[in-house]
Structure 1
């Protein structure tokens, strides 16, 4: 295949570069009342739902008690299914959450992955701080980093311009690498190679879609690790991109189970 033919093979697809993790709620089941009712089964199996309807204040009280004292099983009696579009390097971390989670991901063994690739947003913290530690990774934005090495009096014109240049260099390298590797991927597919083998050259920055189903208990465990909240009893330092997905899931959780979410936050974001 000539270089011209290889180029034509690649440009059949519109390459897309994104800085987001996209989360859509497919379906949900249950409510705060359902979770409270599951707890009341212990003493009144037939009356739980009626009590939840007739005494909404009881729902708030029992949910807060359950989370505070870490009685977790009632929070397994609801569910939500998300469709998440994220780079593969995010899935490598997300799939580590196994208890209470179910996954179905698109397969590059059976389909050609779309040329959609991740690039960091301009304001993403990405420069290591002095004394950086793997256990507690902290980063500066490009602007913050350049401000440390540039005369602060001239930050607006010197440091910002330097940060812009550095960002352009980072993104340019990433885009070129993505294009080169996707072209190589397509050349392998054109040779009728097993798609499961042809994909081996693809970078982890390519996007993949997955259905994720979990219950509130498992989601709270996920959020406790993947959202770096200063309100948390046990502070975590998640990867920026998985935190984007976690925050989107948390907002949908908050809308569907507002009492449970409030109790989760009130009690230091510790999963029951």
Structure 2
């Protein structure tokens, strides 16, 4: 999805790192008789996941380069314990402004706790100008974005400091950050943000995360996902 992306930077450890961490009481690493490629860690990893022994899953580390609208990034940023997050600053440099446009403009639900409906309201009339015609939801959204970005550029060109000019930019502006966390930390992000109660755009982030993590840690990731009720 344009404007919401998760890109792998690097990672430390494999499924076997979890096995080694759990077996540390036997000497661990080079002192044990368990060798990667010779010992199958699947049974132990599944046991650890099912019994909620989470500390071994915190040893593998993964770093991602992420991008999302500011409002989505702020939801994701609530996951802080055990994570490191460094985000692009609009204070120290002038940047090209990218603003997120949804794939579909979803309807307002009866109960706001539900987030949105599956109804596409992009062509619904937002303003009726009588003999001059109508303006749709999609058109208002587009015009608001253009006005905000243009205002920012005008203010910066007029000499206003970017750290203040940025206040006029919308929550839909796409931000980028480097995010590092443990395997278990990423599982918690996925578990909470893939829920049907999460906003669609947040679930898209979780979907991309799932695809990458399932390739990096096929045994552990599947074992952890199996614990989701």
Name the counterpart of 1:208.
175
Question: Residue deviations 1:122-168, cap 9 Å, x none?
Answer: 3x6x22444x252x5452232xxxxxxxxxxxxxxxxxxxx662399
Q: Does 1:119 align with 2:77?
A: no
Assess if the C-alpha contact under 8 Å between 2:122 and 2:137 holds in 1.
Answer: no
* 3-state secondary structure, aligned to 1:42: helix
Does residue 158 of structure 2 align to residue 191 of structure 1?
Answer: yes
Other-structure match for 1:61: 43
Q: Shift in Å at residue 97 of structure 1? A: 0.6
The TM-score normalised by the length of structure 1 is 0.74
Q: Are the equivalent residues in 2 in contact too, given 1:23–1:248 (CA < 8 A)?
A: yes
Change (3 A) 1:194 1:49: farther
Tell me, yes or no, if the aligned pair for 1:37 and 1:52 is still in contact at 8 Å.
no
- Distance in 2 (CA, whole Å) between partners of 1:114 and 1:242 is 24
Q: Tell me the equivalent position of 1:21.
A: 4
Q: Deviations over 1:154-185 (max 9, x none)?
A: xxxxxxxxx66239922211111111111111
Which one has the bigger helix percentage?
Answer: 1
Q: 1:71 aligns with which of 41, 50, 53?
A: 53
Match of 2:199 among 229, 236, 239: 239
Q: TM-score, normalised by structure 2?
A: 0.87
Taking the aligned partners of 1:29 and 1:133, their CA distance within structure 2 comes to 41
Corresponding pairs, count: 219
Hey, what does 2:130 align to over in structure 1? none
Residue pair 1:72, 1:217 contacting (<8 A) in 2 also: yes
Q: 1:173 aligns with which of 140, 152, 159?
A: 140
Distance of aligned partners of 1:34 and 1:49 in 2 relative to their CA distance in 1, 3 Å threshold? farther
Q: By how many angstroms is 1:205 displaced?
A: 0.5
Separation in 1, partners of 2:226, 2:156: 52
Once the 2 structures are TM-superposed, how far is the Cα of residue 55 of structure 1 from its aligned partner? 1.9
